[in-house]
Structure 1
Amino acid sequence: MQQHISTLHEFLSEYWPHIVLTFSVLVSASAAVHAAMNKNDVRAAIGWVGVIIMSPLLGPLLYLIAGINRVRRSQIYEQRDKTFKQFISYPEPPVSDIESCAGIQFRSLHILGDRVSRFQLRNGNHVRLLAGGDEAYPAMLEAIRNAKSTIAMQSYIFDNDHIGRIFIDALAEANQRGVNIRVLIDAVGAKYSHPPITRLLRKHQIPHALFMTNPLGFMRMPYANLRSHRKLLIVDGTHAFAGGMNIREGFMTEFGKENTAKDTHFSIEGPAILQLFSSFAHDWEFTTKEELPYADWCVKEWNAPQPHVPARCIRSGPDRFIGSNHHMLQGACAVATRHIRIQSPYFLPDQVLMGAINTAARRGVQVDIVIPKNNNLRLVGYAMMAQIDQLIRAGCRVWMATGTFNHSKLATVDGQWSYVGSSNMDPRSLRLNFELDLEIYDTDITGQVSNLIDNEIETAEALTLEHLQNLPFHKRLRNRVIWLASPYL
């Protein structure tokens, strides 16, 4: 036995470089082939293959951790589609005459939405805009406190701060009343506050889960990519809230004072709630393996107050719905004839979407883009400055909003169509995050959204090519270097 061990030791001592080389070549080749065969974006494929080849052992490890999409695509969706059909049928027929709702140019956008979303555009929805935490949080808390049967809540960030604990108290009271509750928080977003809010959820025995905590199958850790960026609250299957707002005290003037951040959320009643719940139910089942029956969590008929508007839910994420928000924004730019308004805190469109926006501007459409002058994510702000000149050269008007930071994600076209929700116009939202948006065909709601954007423009500073060219060289270089990492900011 000693002789065998000694022989093995001598063999490894002499040939270990050859063994390591062979192993690294095999692993790198396997990882590079996997990246080339599974990455649909040529830039991502080239990037990963380059990293793998240039770093023979570290590269494959990085690809294993951050490069492989482990989200299951078909099985849960097939189960969910069966459950969807089994329990619920829409009382509202799908909208067929979009011309009477918005205009003839939106006919093709309607068709695009049908093919991208898998949800049909439905009338009978009552949508109310909620500006900031001062309007959104009290309305959400009132709905929770009046809940009779169910509460489904999802957020990217749920801070353990003043407003977070107020929400916990309301959820705990509802839990004691026997309301059936499920709370889903992203695993990365849960780490924004210390201690995390999950301790209080656990203390009050409120059913909850963290999204994407186990990407490698054996490590309980949050996954840096594939985050759930969705923000959603559904109460009794009759009243929902969705948009861009996390649960953070900084969005209420009571706590944020003069530094209160801005955001926009929406109250929804009507058949769009079923679509929103479908998104939540899938995410919950994916995370916990628990199936939520539609019959228990949604009503079969809605009695939404007037006025009614056509709306639908648009899901997007690194699964079979990848690029849904990207396709919808491209389509909206293509049908615009007069005015496109965009407000985004993190505005880093890829070349395809930037081309769609620039083409609209060159066709004579007035394009207004509002971004923060002082971004809460400085690296993202720097990267934005590295490519924004391409839009200005095409004729887009770019505005840097002054005042407190605005987290709203809003877009309107021709005063008839709105696209609102959780999606930013950056690589993470367009390809990596799970996002949840609403498209709304209505002049009144679109007018309200447009007014919010116009109010920001009134006090904003116009960004010009001269301003960008006058930046010191070291700042322009810094912006370009950080821009190279923009897909993962």
Structure 2
Amino acid sequence: MLELIQIYWAETLAVLSVVFGTVAATHAAMTKREVRSALGWVGIIILSPLVGAMIYAVAGINRIRRATLISRRALELDEIWRNLSLYAVSGDTVADRYGTRFGQMKLLGDRVTRHPLSSGNRITLLSAGDEAFDAMCQAIEAAEHSIILETYIFDRDPIGLRVADCLIAAHRRGVAVRVVVDAVGARYSVPSIIGHLEQGGVPVATFNGQVIMGLRLPYANLRTHRKILVVDGAIGFVGGMNIRAAFAGPDASRDTHFCVTGPVVADILAVAAEDWHFETGEVLLGPEWRVQLRDAVPGAGVAIRAVVSGPDTHIETNHRLLLGAFSVAEHSIRIVSPYFLPDTTFIAALNTAARRGVQVDVIVPSQNNLAIVARAMMGQFDQILREGCRVHFSTGPFDHSKLMVIDRQWCFVGSSNLDARSLRLNFEIDLEVYDRLFAEQISDGIDKRIATAQQLTLEALKARSLPNRLIDRLFWLGSPYL
């Protein structure tokens, strides 16, 4: 056989090109939702025989099919899960408190997120890395039964080692500890924190660990970008904060994290448990993983929904919910994002809101940690500036926060950036929050950013030199893959 291949190597390559090319092109045509995406991939496959099919296999298949075993419905036999129904918030309640349009928004969330809007929650803003890491470590040190942590980046630096040592200490005193770190994010520091945790006896899994040839590929698809910590089924942490020293100290990069208690923690725990099961096959249903509702009163507290999205059955959940939020806005849409590269549908929704008289403010960092993303954003800003949206460059250190407020009463916060990767390719978790006091708190932070920011005008954008504008647009062409 080997001798035949050596003799007929050209014919063999031709046959392989046709077979793999046909399979890849058929898959692209049948699974891609956008015509441009399908045509682009089919073109690459046809014009680059065999190589195109290999590229598509690596970067073009953007969906994971997996069984959802650890969900609210799967746990209905547990008494505590049945009791969670007492905390459900009705559409009429939302409409009475926030207006009919937000009652419709609540209905949209019910239909696209698969998680209920619940009352009885508390949410605390952690506006700096030191504050967030201190709170997380204190919760871990106080854990009595269980800890599950899922994150994208977990560096082996002073902050990462501090958190890891807290987890190891909890494991050694008998707390059930589980840690999920994205396979790409785990490679941001060498050596990886994974070895340190394993040496300490902590069960660790790397998410979607089939990284090609062991290479560090920060833009590989199908990553978990979620940041979750749940302690004793009672207290949860979510937001944008990776575990790394870059976000600690007086000159640190900025980010925002959130501590929550109440029924929403049950959904956050279920999401992390699903991801753990996906990687290890272990089902976390023992008594140590029981949800605890401490001082939660039905109908009181903050109404919160966990919004889970990713390239599986939850694909584009965050995208759909945000489009709905833009459609109900009457006064203001305020967005803070480190990477603002949404698709044309998202841009059109923002522009439509601006045409209706809604004040749209987009705040991005003046110092971005990804230069090519910063250039690509500059290549796209004209599309919203022309319609009356405002763009602000926040001063100071790089700001990694992901915040959104609609009409100073509805918030969307969590791990999702506003780019193709977070809105389609990554696994994300965010919180939809109905609460005026919390919305005012987030809005106050946005006010402070705008007060010291530099506003970008359409005239200033057009005044950039032709070479700069051309480079911006070239990077913008690659924005779906950044």
Interval of TM-score (by shorter of Structure 1 and Structure 2): over 0.9
Matching residue's letter, 1:374: Q
> 117-126 or 302-311: which moved more?
302-311
State the 1:78 CA deviation.
4.8
Question: What is the CA–CA distance in structure 1 between the aligned matches of 2:14 and 2:43, rounded to whole Å?
Answer: 18
Work out the CA distance in 1 between the residues paired with 2:426 and 2:358.
Answer: 30
Gaps of 5+ in 2: none
How far the C-alpha of 1:300 sits from its partner, in A, is 5.1
Q: What TM-score do the two structures reach when normalised by structure 1?
A: 0.93
Q: Does 2:255 correspond to 1:263?
A: yes
**Number of positions where the alignment pairs a residue of Structure 1 with one of Structure 2:** 474
Q: Residue 433 of structure 1 corresponds to which residue in structure 2? A: 426
Question: Structure 2 vs 1, CA of residues 105 and 80 (structure 1 numbering), >3 Å: closer, same or farther?
Answer: closer
Q: Conserved in 2, the CA contact under 8 Å of 1:373 and 1:401? A: yes
Q: Percent identity?
A: 47
**Contact 1:122–1:312, Cα closer than 8 Å, also in 2:** yes
Q: CA offsets, 1:185-214, max 9 Å, x none?
A: 001111111111112101111111100012
Match of 2:327 in 1: 334
Alignment correspondent of 1:42: 35
- Matches of 2:127 and 2:263, distance apart in 1: 23
Matched, 1:86 2:82: no
> Which of 236, 240, 247 is matched with 1:240 structurally?
236
The residue aligned with 1:345 is 338
1:185 aligns with 2:176: no
1:204 and 2:161 equivalent? no
Match of 2:478 among 466, 477, 485: 485
Per the normalisation by structure 2, the TM-score is 0.94
Q: Is the 8 A contact 2:306 2:432 kept in 1?
A: yes
1:298 is matched with 290
What does residue 277 of structure 1 align with? Answer: 269
SS in 2 for 1:86: coil
Contact 2:136/2:237 (<8 A) preserved = yes
Whole-angstrom CA distance in 2 between matches of 1:175 and 1:236: 13
Matched position secondary structure for 1:108: helix
Which residue number in structure 1 is paired with residue 401 of structure 2? 408
Q: 1:220 and 1:462, CA in 2 relative to 1: closer, same or farther beyond 3 A? A: closer
- Separation in 2 of the partners of 1:19 and 1:226? 32
State the partner residue of 1:164: 160
Cα distance in 2 for partners of 1:379, 1:449 equals 29
Distance between the aligned counterparts of 1:176 and 1:376, measured in 2? 38
The structural deviation recorded for 1:453 is 1.1
Q: CA deviation at 1:79?
A: 6.0
Residue 146 (structure 1) aligns with: 142
**Matching of residue 77 in structure 1 with residue 68 in structure 2:** yes
Could you tell me how far apart the structure 2 residues matched to 1:246 and 1:391 are? 30
CA distance in 1, matches of 2:198, 2:157: 16
- 1:156, 1:36 → 2: CA distance? 31
User: Where in structure 1 are there 5+ consecutive unaligned residues?
Assistant: none
Cα contact 2:232–2:288 (8 A) shared by 1: no
Look up the match of 1:102.
98
Query: CA RMSD, aligned part only?
Result: 2.0
1:101·1:442 contact (CA, 8 Å) conserved in 2? no
Q: What residue is the counterpart of 2:364 in the other structure?
A: 371
Other structure's SS at 1:291 match = coil
Deviation at 1:100, TM superposition (A): 3.0
Report how far residue 130 of structure 1 moved: 0.8
Whole-Å separation in 2 of the counterparts to 1:148 and 1:43: 52
Q: Determine the structure 1 residue equivalent to 2:384.
A: 391
Distance in structure 2 (CA, Å) of the matches to 1:146 and 1:180:
13
For residue 321 of structure 2, what is the amino acid of its counterpart? M
Q: Structure 1 residue 131 and structure 2 residue 127: aligned?
A: yes
Which whole-Å CA distance do the structure 2 matches of 1:343 and 1:378 have between them?
Answer: 18
Q: How does 1:459-470 map to 2 (within 5 A)?
A: 459-470=452-463
For 2:168 and 2:15, locate their aligned partners in 1 and report how far apart those are by CA, in whole Å: 58
Shift of 1:70: 5.6
CA offset digits 1:362-399 (Å, max 9, x no partner): 00001111011121111100000001111111100110
